[in-house]
Amino acid sequence: MVVEVRLFATLRETRFKKREMEIPERSSLDDLLEDLKISEDELGILLVNGRSALGEYTLAPHDVVSIFPSLGGG
């Protein structure tokens, strides 16, 4: 199935801004993160179709996944 992945800020480095990705049916968000080689340590915000989602979330065809890194400076 195809999902759209949008990466933000430093997560784009060595990867991409926006891409349609072919992934196995019933993949979870965690599976996708592993594919993208994005570790838990790099995570800030994970959204599916604009809403906050957990790693175990099972993706559906044409879901839009948005991933942001963590910002802590002040």
Partner 1 sequence: MLTEKEETLLNQAFGKQELKELTQQQSVKIASRTNIPLRTVEHFALGKGYLPRRYRENIGTLGTSGQRRLLENKVIIFGLGGLGGYVLEELARVGLGQIIGVDPDVVDETNLNRQLLAEEGNLGSKKVNEANNRLKKVNKAVEFAGHAVPLDQLPEEAYCDADLAFGCIDNIRDRLILAKRCSVENIPLVHGAIAGWYGEVAVVWPHTGLLEKIYKHQGKSIEQNLGIPSFTAAIAASLMVAAGIRILLGKSSDKEQNMLFFDLLEDEWQTITL
User: Which of 24/74 has CB closer to partner 1?
Assistant: 74
Q: How many Å apart are CA 68 and CA 7, to the nearest integer? A: 7
- Type of residue numbered 35: D
44 is an interface residue for partner 1 by CB under 8 A:
yes
CB of 40 to partner 1, least distance (A): 6
Q: Which is nearer to partner 1, 1 or 4 (CB)?
A: 4
Contact status: 45 vs partner 1 (CB under 8 A): yes
Q: Given the structure tokens 């957990």, which residue do they identify?
A: 54
* Candidates 21-29, 48-56, 57-65; binding stretch for partner 1 (CB under 8 A): 48-56
Give the whole-angstrom CA distance, residue 5 versus residue 7.
Answer: 7
CA 10 to chain centre: 13
